[in-house]
Amino acid sequence: MYFWKMMKGLITLLLLFSSHLCWSQKVVKSDSVVMTKECIQDIAQVVDSAINYGKSFIGLAYKYGGISTSGFDCSGFLKHIFNKYGLILPHSSRDYANLGDTISLKEIKKGDVLLFKGSNLKSKRIGHVSLVVEVTENEILMLHSCRRGVLIENYLDSDYYLKRFVGIRRLNKIPSSRIRSGSDFGSVQGTTPTLQGNKAGG
């Protein structure tokens, strides 16, 4: 009887311990990049590095479907600057609606992603994304690639984007399917592999 009680207690402890582990049980290949599943990582550690890297492209011309330094569309830009630090983001603006957590405008902070409609105000589809780089009492500065190229502007002063606002996503927890295999996630010394993606407007 004592033996079985000991075994039951040991099993319970093992189950509790395993619930706190970050398992990487499956490996899949996507666009020649090996990715592990189910692990959760914190994106906060790469935000500053990605923003600084993104600022180096200010003035670069917009390119539809662009994902390289020859030109970006909106989602291609975010994909590129975060991919440098090991994070694989989608190359489709509408896919950002399914990442992270929904955040209210009162909670917005650096690193959040602003979601907007495209040029068609009647459409409910997300057509543009931008990255928040600074928040003050009177400003929400966003870094993005738009038809005017890569730039930083104040969302609160933009009638165009105010009319097209859809929501805000905070990418605070990322599944390992979006962590580039072999990368030092969060390292400023990350590299930029060539990845394929579905072209999307923005």
Q: Which uninterrupted H or E stretch holds 52?
A: helix 44-55
Give the torsion sign (CA, 169, 173, 178, 179): positive
C-alpha of 122 from chain center: 26
Residue, of 7 and 14, whose pLDDT is higher: 7
Torsion sign (Cα): 125, 130, 131, 133: negative
User: Would residue 161 count as lying in a domain?
Assistant: yes
* Domain assignment of residue 21, yes or no: no
Look at residue 15 in the predicted model and tell me its pLDDT: 43
Domain assignment present for 200: no
Do the domain assignments include residue 74? yes
As a dihedral over the C-alpha atoms of residue 33, residue 51, residue 102, residue 183, rounded to 10 degrees, the angle is 20
> Would 149 be classed as within a structural domain?
yes
Alpha helices in the chain (DSSP H): 2-18, 44-55, 74-83, 159-164
**Across residues 179-190, what is the average pLDDT?**
53
pLDDT band at 46 (very low <50, low <70, confident <90, very high): confident
Range of the domain at 75: 42-178
- Report the catalytic residues: 74, 128, 144
Mean pLDDT of 30-43: 39
Instruction: Residue 128: give its domain's CATH number.
Output: 3.90.1720.10
Q: Which amino acid is at 200?
A: A
Region 131-148: mean pLDDT is 97
Q: What is the pLDDT of residues 113-132, one digit of tens each?
A: 999 999 999 998 999 999 99
Residue 159's pLDDT band, with cuts at 50, 70 and 90, is very high
Residue 42 tokens read as: 């914190």
Q: Please compute the mean of the pLDDT values over residues 176-184 and round it to a whole number.
A: 62
Indicate the average pLDDT of the chain: 77
The confidence score (pLDDT) of residue 17 equals 42
- Residue 101 falls within a domain, yes or no? yes
202 occurs within a structural domain: no
Total domains in the fold of the chain? 1
The pLDDT tens digits of the residues spanning 47-99 come to 999 999 999 999 999 999 999 999 999 999 999 999 998 888 999 999 999 88
pLDDT for position 4: 53
Q: How many CB atoms lie within 10 A of CB 10?
A: 10
pLDDT of res. 3: 54
In a domain, residue 17? The reply is no
